[in-house]
Chains A and B, each alone.
Chain A
């Protein structure tokens, strides 16, 4: 269990990061608009929740991106207002969380892993909630 002092720091960071997570949720609603899309996002959320290592999440995203053809793009689609594909955007944000966990854990490998997974799980929850909200509203236009 994470020490309350660290937990507070992690939660403050997540609150500050919330706007970025919302942006990702909006992008997801552009790339995964239909029912099949909802399943994909739920699946992504499950992977994040059950992962024992951060790399399992990175590998999942890369695998999904690698499966797609140019005719049908979701993970590889570039949302309007973004210069990166959906998958690359998720990987980019995940890397930011990894770096945050690293800076807070100060070379403690156990804490680093715990912090990284904690940040990723709450981030995925924020992202998926915004995605569902946008879907209910009828989709986003990709603008910030």
Chain B
């Protein structure tokens, strides 16, 4: 068994998935609903768009997921009269998703950065170039699927609360 596979089955990884990623996903969904409320937007993004995110994060690669999120953001912007000045429930949502996948801002949480950090701290990227690539891909795939599973389920949960009807 490869080092990365052992790590993905380790208590450290399961704990990261259940606590850290879970908490981050909840925080971001709650932040989204708060922004929607603050901006007095009557409804959050439709559940079928969130379902699309969940399915893509399960079935597609990390880069395909990022492309999908960017594409959705672009489409949402095009629906606005003035994309430079306006925001909608969809643009807020998809720009948040893009930043959750890849964000260079210092201190910001992003899955791409998390993968890098785990590879370094766990010594998973120490082997050959090919081994590092395999480890990166596996870790990205696991982390993304788990994170967006937490994220989407919490979204469905909150969207059905009386204060947030979709």
Instruction: Using CB atoms and an 8 Å cutoff, list the residues of chain A in contact with chain B.
Output: 52-55, 58-60, 62-63, 65-68, 76, 87, 109-110, 112-113
Contact = CB atoms under 8 A, between A and B. Distances in A.
Interface in B102-149: 149
B159 interface: yes
A43 to B, nearest CB: 16
A66 B157 contact: yes
A-side binding surface: helix, strand, loop or mixed? helix
26 contacts: A52-B14, A55-B17, A55-B150, A58-B22, A59-B149, A59-B153, A60-B153, A62-B153, A62-B154, A62-B156, A62-B157, A65-B156, A65-B157, A65-B160, A66-B153, A66-B156, A66-B160, A67-B156, A68-B160, A109-B11, A109-B14, A109-B15, A110-B11, A112-B11, A112-B15, A113-B14
Interface string B27-46: 00000000000000000000
A63 B156 contact: yes
Interface in B2-28: 11-12, 14-15, 17-18, 22
Nearest to B151: A59
A62 B22 CA distance: 13
Contacts of A55: 17-18, 22, 150
Contacts of A112: 11, 15
Given A55-B150, A113-B11, A113-B14, 4 more contacts: A58-B22, A62-B157, A63-B156, A68-B160
The 3 nearest A-B residue pairs measured at CB: A66-B156, A62-B157, A110-B11
Contacts, number: 48
B5 to A, nearest CB: 14
Nearest to B149: A59
B-side binding surface: helix, strand, loop or mixed? helix
A66 B15 CA distance: 25
B75 interface: no
Contacts of A109: 11-12, 14-15
A109 B16 CA distance: 10
